[in-house]
Amino acid sequence: MPPMPEDLERDLRRVLADADAASAGLRAEIARQRLQQAQHAEIERLEEHLASAVVRWDEVRSFFDHVLHELRGDDPQWHDDAEAA
């Protein structure tokens, strides 16, 4: 097979690079569309999720107490003793 002229080879490489870029863009768009569809499906089920959610307020309070103690650098044991007094 005779060698290709440089201009033809350069043009073919550019066409391939453009096709690769377009293909990557299409794959990214497909992934974005799939993620958006999954999010919409979960939003449609939000009412169902909320209806089945159980809130245990004592556990929520305990969690926030723990977080506040950690943020303040307090010893939670000291606070428990002080509250009991």
Give the pLDDT band of residue 54 (cuts 50, 70, 90): confident
Task: Return the amino acid letter for 28.
Answer: A
- Please give the Cα distance from 79 to 76 (Å, whole number): 5
Mean pLDDT value across residues 56-80:
83
Domain map (residue ranges) of the chain: 1-53, 54-85
Does position 40 have pLDDT exceeding 70, yes or no?
A: yes
Give the pLDDT band of residue 85 (cuts 50, 70, 90): very low
Does position 76 have pLDDT exceeding 80, yes or no?
A: no
- Please give the Cα distance from 33 to 45 (Å, whole number): 19
Query: Which pLDDT score, from 0 to 100, does residue 74 have?
Result: 81
* First-last CA distance in the chain: 95
Mean pLDDT value across residues 38-53:
91
- Please give the Cα distance from 20 to 26 (Å, whole number): 10
